[in-house]
């Protein structure tokens, strides 16, 4: 099973997210802005001002370095994830159709079995109802389980979240539907703060998970003719990728259903645990943030915050002090950037002006 690291980090400051959704119909934009803040376009469009609004005074013979292709924390592009999955399943299915004779176990349709074996392997469910019987098949299976784990990682890092986010708006609407007084446009403005956002995503993942588990249990009861307890037990063993294999999908139709259902339900459980962790982390962050913001300043704070040694704390210096206190940035970050500033401050005035920029050009 995939039990994600507790490394999820989200912005500590979420208050002004409401301010981002000024226009009705802008809810999706506002909802996804925070999540996709680190997207390809953000940092560069911001600093690639339009020709009308800015005079670029760079010398043409000394241009800025080109921006890197994308932001460091960007997640894999959705289309890449699907291509990787498609490639993995195609190659896997072809391989295991070819070595079909070297698999032991209950067999149905050749292509369905190969695809089913791929999915059972890549998700690490590993029922064992189909097992490789020869050296070649065993080495192939070993290869496919390792590469499958990488593909599952890609899906989890991007696609699973995408599905939950797409459905999140539904949960938000449902939560606000009871409040009849609010007209639809207003609902869009009632964008939750970040902790609520995570709660909605958590609720969405829970609903999806329960639906998938119910669908699986019903399918196994009705189509594979298990009794209810066995079906539920098989569902639990599958979504957690446990896969003892005493109960599994034995018919061609069942295995075709399993291909989609196993992929969806295992990813969904992983997302469920991920959001659960995120919810817990955000609550702690909120407590911590409240403390940082409400903490009274001391004289030592003023001394420490005063970066330019003018004995007063400017707004920007205050912001940096609080960011350090919130652990969003480190003292090292500030040190490196201060060095960078001193290099740019050609006339040593302690401030950057147009003159500094022209002189450095």
Site for its own copies in 1-60 (CB under 8 A): 1-9, 11-17, 19-20, 34, 37-38, 42-43, 46-47, 49, 53-58
In the block, residue with structure tokens 């957690």: 240
> Between helices 27-35 and 194-222, what is the axis angle to 10°?
90
The tokens for 179 are 């409040």
Of 197-226, binders to its own copies (CB under 8 A) are: none
Which strand (E) or helix (H) includes residue 50?
Answer: none
Q: Which C-beta is closer to its own copies: that of 150 or that of 210?
A: 150
106 binds its own copies (CB under 8 A): no
| Residue from the set 84, 279, 323, 346 that interacts with its own copies by CB under 8 A | 323
From candidates 176, 253, 325, 346, binder to its own copies by CB under 8 A: 325
For the CB of residue 182, give the shortest distance to its own copies in the complex, in Å: 24
Q: Which residue in 218, 337, 347, 359 binds its own copies (CB under 8 A)? A: 337
Residue numbers 81-100 binding its own copies by CB under 8 A:
none
d(CA 75, CA 38): 9
Q: Are 277 and 3 in contact (CB under 8 A)?
A: no
- Which residue in 97, 99, 182, 302 binds its own copies (CB under 8 A)? 302
- Of residues 121-140, which lie at the interface with its own copies (CB under 8 A)? 121, 124-128, 131-132, 135, 138-139
Nearer residue to its own copies within complex by CB, 93 or 277: 277
Give the residue with the Cβ less far from its own copies, 106 or 183.
106
Contact region for its own copies (CB under 8 A) — 106-114, 172-180, 204-212, 289-297?
289-297
Q: Which residues within the stretch 144-163 sit at the binding site for its own copies (CB under 8 A)?
A: 145-146, 149-150, 152-153, 156-158
Helix (H) or strand (E) holding 75, with range, is none
> Which token pair is 235?
């569902």
Q: Cβ closer to its own copies: 182 or 317?
A: 317
Report angle CA 89, 95, 101 to the nearest 5 degrees. Answer: 130
Structure tokens at 19: 């301010």
Please check whether residue 332 is in contact with residue 320, taking contact to mean a CB–CB distance below 8 angstroms: no
216, 265 in Cβ contact below 8 A?
A: yes
Bridge partners of 131, per DSSP, are: 104
The answer to whether the CB of 219 falls within 8 A of the CB of 39 is: no
* Least distance (Å) between residue 177 CB and its own copies: 28
What is the C-alpha to C-alpha distance for residues 157 and 155, in angstroms, rounded to an integer?
Answer: 5
Indicate the residue among 105 and 182 with the shorter CB distance to its own copies. Answer: 105
């Amino acid at each position: 099973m995939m039990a994600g690291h507790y490394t999820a980090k989200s912005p500590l400051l979420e208050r002004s997210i409401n301010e981002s959704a000024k226009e009705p119909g802008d809810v999706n934009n506002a909802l996804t802005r925070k999540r996709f803040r680190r997207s390809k376009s953000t940092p560069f469009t911001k600093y690639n001002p339009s020709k009308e609004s800015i005079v670029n005074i760079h010398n043409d013979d000394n241009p800025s370095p080109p921006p890197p292709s994308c932001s460091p924390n960007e997640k894999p592009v959705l289309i890449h994830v699907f291509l990787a999955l498609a490639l993995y399943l195609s190659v896997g299915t072809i391989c295991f159709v070819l070595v079909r004779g070297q698999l032991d176990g209950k067999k149905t349709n050749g292509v369905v079995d190969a695809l089913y074996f791929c999915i059972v392997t890549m998700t690490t469910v590993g029922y064992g109802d189909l097992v490789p019987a020869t050296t070649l098949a065993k080495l192939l299976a070993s290869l496919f389980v390792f590469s499958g784990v990488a593909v599952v990682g890609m899906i989890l890092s991007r696609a699973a979240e995408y599905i939950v986010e797409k459905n999140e708006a539904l949960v938000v609407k449902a939560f606000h539907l009871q409040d009849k007084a609010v007209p639809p446009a207003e609902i869009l403005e009632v964008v939750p703060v970040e902790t609520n956002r995570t709660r909605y995503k958590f609720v969405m993942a829970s609903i999806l998970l329960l639906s998938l588990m119910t669908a699986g249990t019903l399918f196994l009861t009705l189509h594979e003719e298990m009794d209810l307890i066995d079906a539920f037990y098989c569902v639990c063993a599958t979504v957690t990728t446990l896969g003892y294999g005493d109960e599994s999908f034995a018919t061609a139709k069942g295995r075709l259903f399993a291909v989609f259902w196993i992929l969806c339900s295992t990813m969904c459980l992983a997302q469920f645990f991920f959001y659960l962790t995120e919810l817990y982390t955000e609550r702690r962050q909120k407590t911590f943030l409240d403390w940082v913001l409400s903490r009274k300043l001391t004289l030592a704070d003023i001394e420490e915050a005063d970066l330019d040694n003018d004995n007063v704390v400017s707004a920007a210096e205050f912001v940096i002090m609080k960011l350090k206190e919130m652990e969003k940035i480190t003292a090292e970050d500030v040190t490196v950037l201060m060095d960078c500033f001193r290099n740019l401050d050609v006339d040593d005035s302690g401030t950057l002006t147009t003159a500094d920029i022209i002189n450095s050009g």
